[in-house]
Structure 1
Amino acid sequence: MCDLVCMAIVLSTLNLSFSSSEVTVDCGTNSMSIRWAESPSLTDLSLLRLGDCSPTSVTVNPGGSEAIFHIGFDACSFRRLVTEDDVVFENELTSLASSKVSSVLSPVVCVYEKPADWSPPLYDPVIFHTNGQGNLLFHLNLMNDDFSGVALSTTFSLGSFIPIAATVDQASHQPLILLLEECVASTTPTLAQDGHIHPIITNNGCLMDSKNTNSRFLPRRSLSEIRLYLQAFKFTNVYIHCKLVAWDPHVMDSGKKACQYDAQKGRWVLLDDPRKSALCTCCETRCQARRQRGIGKDLVQPVVLGPLAIKN
């Protein structure tokens, strides 16, 4: 069990039954253990997945079978969220059918009491392991006005600019470009259908907020960084939910881009090469990626920034 104050949630319970199945979750200090037991076994337990990870072990017996996961929070695409009081690790337990389509069986969450010295209240870097291509470290930070360092305050006046910087440390990985595929603002630390949501970046990299406000991308200092001035809007407390994407800079299309609206020109403009702004013409409709040869599977990391306070 965990040394910090913590709890495990699987559909609001520690032990959950699915007809003949039972799930037990144990939150550790830096990891979790999950036991899925069936009596008798009705499914192929090797097809269970926690995030993108297979079971650590599977035992099959005539009277019943079980699958066990022993997983660290730096693997399996765990999402880490820091709220005012808690540190939350989220994932989904799924079953991979023969059709190769995953069906979600249950959300899995470990919640820890946030240490008193936690500062700033932002997402920490998350390590991605990429099959021999080197480790990637993703960052999303609230910055001071000139982007010279991380901001010390998370309070902004309505209409002022919120400086945000996303970066990826590539180590030995081949050169990649960092993109913001999607960002939305919400009044809650987790996205919910009944929550208040404000779209910021949609349509595979279109800064929709630049169409009606002064929000804008800043020129890049490197391909591994993307900076944004977001104009503060009417949310008292706000969380910024984003998907960071690391991609091959030589294989860009309408599905992998960074576009913003230029009011003076009356059109959408590509951040990295205005001459190729035709990639942005779909921002008003629907952008779809074309299949091209690149690095293969794009490397995506969901992150959350907040809470931020907006004052009138």
Structure 2
Amino acid sequence: MAFIWDLAMWFCLGAVMAVNAELRTDCRPDYMSLVWTDSRLQADPSLFRLGSCFPATISPREVAFSVTYDDCNFRRLVTGNELNYTNDLIYTSSPDSYVNPFSLPVVCSFERPKDWYPMTYDPEFSTYGVEDLVFQVGLMNADFTGPSESNVYPLGSMISVMAAVDQQDHQPLLLFLEECIASTTPDLHPGADLYPIITNKGCLVDSKVSRSKFEPREKLSEIHLSVQAFKFALGHEVFIHCTLVAWDPNGLDDTKKACHYNKDHGWELLDNPAYNGLCDCCESTCKSRKRRNLSEKHGLEKKAVVGPLTITA
């Protein structure tokens, strides 16, 4: 297999220069290595991820990864005679940090093997537009590498839901699921039977009684949710009604968060466990602060519906 090594996509070059850093990649047929060097020690090395993977080594000025393409949620894409493995180097900053969160795409390109063909999907995703943002939400397969091929889930199995926002010309935004409620109808109305999944401004309350959880982020503009199939409306069509929020990564508080419950450690924050305190209000009420108007580009929200899906005994 022919391959191209030392290849990386330098997206958001201004963000890279802002932290005086260098990104180097070495693409091999079965694995790749990536090294991030920060000459001025402005970013916290422990907050880097390559897709879903933690660094192999960390030093005060360098972060290194060495992974195979089966790890870290790499995506495979065939374009013409090229087979591309794509992922994202993600930096999840803390709320009070002066280094903003960012995501850089990383690509390793090879000549496509003659006997290799990608899996094909015929997804049905819902798309919603607001201002200059485009939201998408849909059911995914178990490892979130493609849309689900079925909307029927045995009781106790995992339902994979992905939400994403195409930022287009907007400033970088972090995507949250502020609320998700299951219903037997595509429209919520008074008196409808409801099953709460996410409430209280991003608290995955279903995780207290099940294996439901937020999955590690691959991109700031996406969020992955695994929900354990529940008994609610067993055998009937179910629709999951969600509120998607795209928000300024530097404007986070206990009303803009993604929290799930760990049976051993209590409530945990998806994006930075060092700030698990933002989840404390999940046991009471997470109060909304006064919203800034949209002209301040602080964030936007959109209602979305996933389904129908059916849970079987």
TM-score of Structure 1 vs Structure 2, range by shorter chain: 0.5 to 0.7
Q: How far has the Cα of 1:146 moved from its partner?
A: 1.2
State how far apart, in whole Å, the 1-side matches of 2:223 and 2:298 are: 21
Q: More deviation in 177-186 or 288-297?
A: 288-297
Which aligned pairs between 1:45-124 and structure 2 lie closer than 5 A? 120=123, 122-123=125-126
Larger Cα Rg: Structure 1 or Structure 2?
A: 1
TM value normalised by structure 2: 0.57
1:127 CA drift (Å): 2.0
Superposed CA RMSD in Å reads 1.7
% identical aligned pairs: 49
Q: Which amino acid aligns with 2:244?
A: L
Q: Which amino acid aligns with 2:251?
A: V
Scaled by the length of structure 1, the TM-score of the pair is 0.57
Rounded to whole Å, the distance in 1 between the matches of 2:174 and 2:207 is 22
Q: Does structure 1 residue 225 correspond to structure 2 residue 222?
A: yes
Partner in structure 2 of residue 164 of structure 1:
161
> Structure 2 unaligned runs (5+)?
1-121
- The Cα of 1:226 is off from its aligned counterpart by 0.3
When residues 292 and 245 of structure 1 are mapped into structure 2, their CA distance, relative to the original with a 3 A threshold, is closer
* Secondary structure at 2:177 match in 1: strand
* Residue ranges of structure 1 left out of the alignment (5+ in a row): 1-118, 130-134
Match of 2:256 in 1: 256
Structure 2 Cα separation of the partners of residues 184 and 127 of structure 1: 21
Q: Is the 8 A contact 2:251 2:298 kept in 1?
A: no
Aligned match of 2:180 in 148, 171, 183? 183
2:287 aligns with: 288
Query: Structure 1 residues 121, 296: CA separation in 2 closer, same or farther (over 3 Å shift)?
Result: closer
Q: How many residues align?
A: 187
Give the residue type in structure 2 aligned to 1:285. S
Match of 1:301?
A: 302
CA distance in 1, matches of 2:248, 2:297: 9
Shift of 1:172: 1.4
- Following the alignment from structure 1 to structure 2, what is the Cα–Cα distance between the partners of residues 194 and 292? 30
Q: Deviations over 1:196-227 (max 9, x none)?
A: 10000000000000011100000001110000
Deviation at 1:289, TM superposition (A): 3.0
1:273 aligns with 272
Alpha carbons 1:122, 1:304 under 8 Å: kept: no
Q: Describe how 1:10-21 pairs up with structure 2 within 5 A.
A: none
**Match of 2:247, as an amino acid?**
W
Is 1:243 the counterpart of 2:243? The answer is yes
Aligned equivalents of 1:151, 1:188: Cα separation in 2: 21
- Secondary structure, counterpart of 1:279 in structure 2: helix
Rounded to whole Å, the distance in 2 between the matches of 1:292 and 1:304 is 24
